[in-house]
A and B are shown apart, each in its own frame.
Chain A
């Protein structure tokens, strides 16, 4: 499966090389370098000068790393098709400068503007700058300013943790002193939904990161697990067992009205994820005897089975571009797989060697955060569906799992 993906990209490379001869000056993206799997645009940062102060140096290091991590660029000194120029300087508590991005083939300026940040937060200025460059050159959202929420298990206790998309600024978000599970982002980057045993039972909560306030979203008798916010921010999909069996429900957060989505007296459902239009859910059900993925419209009566390969399929995440990633048990280990609803094709993104689970899309619809477990230790990894090798994100002691990538 992995080699299928590679050969698909080899086809694209051949087309690009051909395109060079015929229409070399159409677009900056036509001059590309293939390295480590995916096609890259050669970009030079030589014209971007920083003063000798520490915040400016951090800005340059983080910007370089962000542009590389975006997957779209190869940083080079010469022969670049995109030149980034300008300067960055620290004065007082301000970190300021100028940034200009030029397509060297057409001579067109793609981006030009001031840099405005603080010496206290050079990383954030670098992240914003990297995302602006990705957007200007490639026309897609960048991920450098995004965050990841996950569960961290350290010295016998579990808590939710946050980190930046590059793994930096790891910080603890909860101190419940109880089992916590299944974090997912609520509105923007200010809220997190999760399951906590804070009150003795598995209940669904929302925490407001700025105010540090915790609100209970569902605490019915039995199970209240895996709550996820709808794209319009008005409803949650959640697994409840209040009617005597684990089924999926949707709760309207304003009215409090709960409606049942599945009704499977002999089976358990779990792990709902919303379609981008908020009209369907993809989820896990063991109605066939083993956990498999199904898709059902909120008001539909029947669910369509999505997975047949692999004796267990779980943890789906429906991406903004319609593709669904999930973990699939194949040949004794879990692999990350992807379903493309347009091509109606499943592909495998990882290649064994460990258990790969709990995938979550980045907003660029290119990268995926997931858990890699080997030797009973779990770490966070970033995958690239365009073929760059997996990248380990977590470096600290402990087990890190169930990541959810913020949508902005």
Chain B
């Protein structure tokens, strides 16, 4: 009940963002869309066995602003595509992997990466994906995809990735 209301609210918000012609790019992304209370309804279930990694489909990582776990309006389309896929593939489970850029404390970045992964998870649950199918895993700043030390590299490295298992 609560989540369906939230879902409608989110859709309205998406429409509002699209209507306002929100622009994104680089380090400064669009207005943030979701500040989700990550608690109560979203407790993590027992870890599922990862199973076999699904390799025939992949999704673009979701980007984040510096020191933020909030999902940006411009990133919502990526999440919708993941939710659509999961709703159609009942046998596939998802591990959302949260990552940070190299700046700041490694240990804090572990928590921030987890916070990002949980924000993605909560959003997907809001779109109707069963919470038992989504786990989270933070890598903090330990697994950069871009080894550079500049704004462009940092922007690429602040991300939530989708690891699918069947």
Q: Which residues of A contact B (CB under 8 A)?
A: 158, 179, 181-182, 195, 197, 200-202, 220-223, 225-226, 239, 241-246, 263, 265-266, 268-271, 284, 286, 289-291, 312, 314-315, 327, 329, 357-358, 376, 401-402
Contact = CB atoms under 8 A, between A and B. Distances in A.
Contacts of A200: 50, 137
Nearest to B119: A245
Contacts of A182: 106-107, 110
B38 A244 contact: yes
A351 B159 CA distance: 33
A284 B43 contact: no
B19 interface: no
A358 B107 CA distance: 10
Given A221-B135, A265-B38, A286-B112, A270 B105 contact: yes
Contacts of A266: 35, 37-38
Given A201-B137, A314-B105, A225 B110 contact: yes
A271 B104 CA distance: 13
A243 B115 contact: no
Contacts, number: 132
B110 A181 contact: yes
Contacts of B17: none
B45 A221 contact: yes
B95 to A, nearest CB: 9
Contact of B118 (A195, A245, A269): A245
Given A179-B142, A181-B110, A244 B39 contact: yes
A379 B123 CA distance: 40
Nearest to A221: B44
Interface in B6-28: none
A244 B43 contact: yes
B138 A223 contact: yes
A327 B142 CA distance: 19
Contacts of A314: 104-105, 107-108
B155 interface: no
Nearest to A182: B107
A202 B39 CA distance: 20
A266 B41 CA distance: 14
Contact of B111 (A239, A357, A358, A401): A239
B140 A222 contact: no
A244 B105 contact: no
B78 interface: no
Given A200-B50, A223-B110, A286-B112, A291 B67 contact: yes
A83 B136 CA distance: 62
Nearest to B41: A244
Nearest to A200: B50
B38 A245 contact: yes
Contacts of B111: 223, 225, 239, 246, 268-270, 284
Nearest to B110: A225
Contacts of B38: 244-245, 265-266
Residue in A200, A201, A244 with the greatest tally of chain B CB atoms within 10 Å: A244
B40 interface: yes
A186 to B, nearest CB: 17
Contacts of A263: 39
Nearest to B147: A376
30 contacts: A179-B139, A179-B143, A200-B50, A201-B47, A202-B110, A202-B137, A221-B47, A223-B114, A225-B110, A225-B114, A244-B38, A244-B40, A244-B42, A245-B115, A266-B37, A266-B38, A268-B111, A284-B105, A284-B107, A286-B67, A286-B112, A291-B67, A291-B108, A312-B67, A312-B104, A314-B104, A314-B105, A327-B105, A401-B106, A402-B107
